[in-house]
């Protein structure tokens, strides 16, 4: 995967002295504190999901890692907004940290559902996964590897886990929310692909951008994924014990 060349910000702009990220999405960067308005403000979708799930969780008291989910969505929204506002490698790291926090949560919970991870080790393994994934970003950046592929690999891993769970008799109570999460994720990935390939690209449009729709659709996917795991928990699956 060859990413487009990353142009620097013009000298004198607020973030011009910071190291740029490894990717340039379609939206042109303004010489302002918010360099990409569409790709920045679309992250409000993650905050909306975080608020909705926080309200839902009140009184239900979800245990284990699932209790972290609303805060994780809010962190992702803040980190992604900071990245797109600044167009910097520094905040791009935190954007990826936000994605790792959520994707590692899915993977670890599924490992527990598979019976491969005892409850007492869930938190330790989760923290180790997030630390390992985050620590890989500087190394991958140094060798020029497009670490966007790491997110795709983790998402595929979650899907494969669910297929294995179904085939080994550990299926979820229902798969409606999983299907909704999957459809939304594919829509998000499609929008991102159209953006980065230039198929959907008007650099001067600071309202509608393909990557902004990645944020919107992926937020919907995260909302559906929470409901999927919540239903598993309500079925007394071991992941929240």
How far apart (Å, rounded) are the C-alpha atoms in residues 19 and 11? 13
Among 39-48, 58-67, 72-81, 135-144, whose mean pLDDT is lowest?
A: 58-67
Average pLDDT over residues 151-176: 94
Can you state the percent helix, strand and coil of the chain, rounding each to 5?
65, 0, 35
**3 in helix, strand or coil?**
coil
List pLDDT tens digits, range 23-41: 999 999 999 999 999 999 9
Yes or no: say if 65 and 230 are a contact pair by the CB < 8 Å rule.
no
- Predicted TM-score of the model (pTM): 0.91
Q: Tens of pLDDT along 142-163?
A: 999 999 999 999 999 999 999 9
Max Cα–Cα distance, the chain, nearest Å: 60
Instruction: Report whether 86 contacts 18 (CB < 8 A).
Output: yes
| pLDDT at res. 171 | 87
| Contact between residue 200 and residue 191 where contact means Cβ atoms under 8 Å apart | yes
Residue 28 is classified by DSSP as: P
Q: What is the mean pLDDT of residues 49-64?
A: 83
> Which position has the higher pLDDT, 74 or 60?
74
Domains of the chain, CATH where assigned: 37-240 (1.20.1070)
Cα three-residue angle 219-57-95, rounded to 5 degrees: 35
Angle between helices 69-86 and 44-57 (to 10 degrees): 170
pLDDT given for residue 61 in this prediction = 64
Residue-wise pLDDT for 217-232, tens only, equals 999 999 999 999 998 8
As given in the structure block, the two tokens for residue 228 are 């999927």
Q: Grade residue 200 by pLDDT with cuts at 50, 70 and 90.
A: very high
Task: Identify the pLDDT of residue 88.
Answer: 98
Find the Cα–Cα–Cα–Cα dihedral 31, 34, 37, 43, rounded to 10°.
160
């Amino acid at each position: 995967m060859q990413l487009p060349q990353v142009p620097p910000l013009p000298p004198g702009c607020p973030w011009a002295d910071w190291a740029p990220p490894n990717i340039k999405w379609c939206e042109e960067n303004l010489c302002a504190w918010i360099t990409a308005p569409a790709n920045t403000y679309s992250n409000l979708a993650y905050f909306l999901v975080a608020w909705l799930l926080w309200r839902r969780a009140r009184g239900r008291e979800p245990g284990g890692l699932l209790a972290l989910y609303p805060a994780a969505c809010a962190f992702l929204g803040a980190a992604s907004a900071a990245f797109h506002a600044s167009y910097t490698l520094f905040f791009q790291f935190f954007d990826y940290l936000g994605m790792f926090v959520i994707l590692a949560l899915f993977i670890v919970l599924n490992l527990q559902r598979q019976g491969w991870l005892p409850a007492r080790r869930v938190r330790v393994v989760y923290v180790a996964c997030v630390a390992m994934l985050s620590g890989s970003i500087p190394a991958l950046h140094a060798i020029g590897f497009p670490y966007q592929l790491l997110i795709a690999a983790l998402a595929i891993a979650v899907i494969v886990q669910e297929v294995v769970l179904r085939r080994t008799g550990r299926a979820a109570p229902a798969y409606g929310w999983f299907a909704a999460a999957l459809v939304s994720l594919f829509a998000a990935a499609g929008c991102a692909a159209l953006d980065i390939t230039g198929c959907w690209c008007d650099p001067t449009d600071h309202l509608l951008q393909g990557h902004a729709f990645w944020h919107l659709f992926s937020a919907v996917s995260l909302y559906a994924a929470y409901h999927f795991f919540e239903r598993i928990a309500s079925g007394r699956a071991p992941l929240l014990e």
